[in-house]
Amino acid sequence: MLAAGKYWDKVARRYETRPIKNLTAYHETLDRTRARLSPNDRVLELGCGTGMTALKLADAVAQMTASDISAEMVAIGREKASAQGVENVEFLQATAFDDALGRGGYDAVLAFNYLHLMEDTEATVARIESLLKPGGVFISKTVCLANANFFFRLLMRLMIPVMQWLNKAPYVRAMSSAEVESCIGDAGFEILESRSFTDQSISRFVVARKTRAL
In the prediction, which pLDDT does 42 show? 98
0.75 surpassed by pTM: yes
- Within 8 A by CB and 6+ apart from 55, the residues are 77, 80, 81, 84, 86, 89
pLDDT over 80 at 153, yes or no: no
Query: CATH number, domain at 113?
Result: 3.40.50.150
pLDDT over 70 at 154, yes or no: no
Total domains present in the chain = 1
Q: Rounded distance, CA 124 to CA 120, Å?
A: 6
Mean pLDDT rounded to a whole number for the chain: 91
The identity of residue 106, as a single letter, is Y
Of 4 and 139, more confident? 139
Segment 17-27, tens digit of pLDDT: 888 888 999 99
pLDDT over 60 at 1, yes or no: no
Which domain does 37 fall in, by range? 4-210
DSSP string, 135-192: EEEEEEEEE-GGGS-HHHHHHHHHHHHHHHHTT-S-------HHHHHHHHHHTTEEEE
Segment 72-124, tens digit of pLDDT: 999 999 999 999 999 999 999 999 999 999 888 999 999 999 999 999 999 99
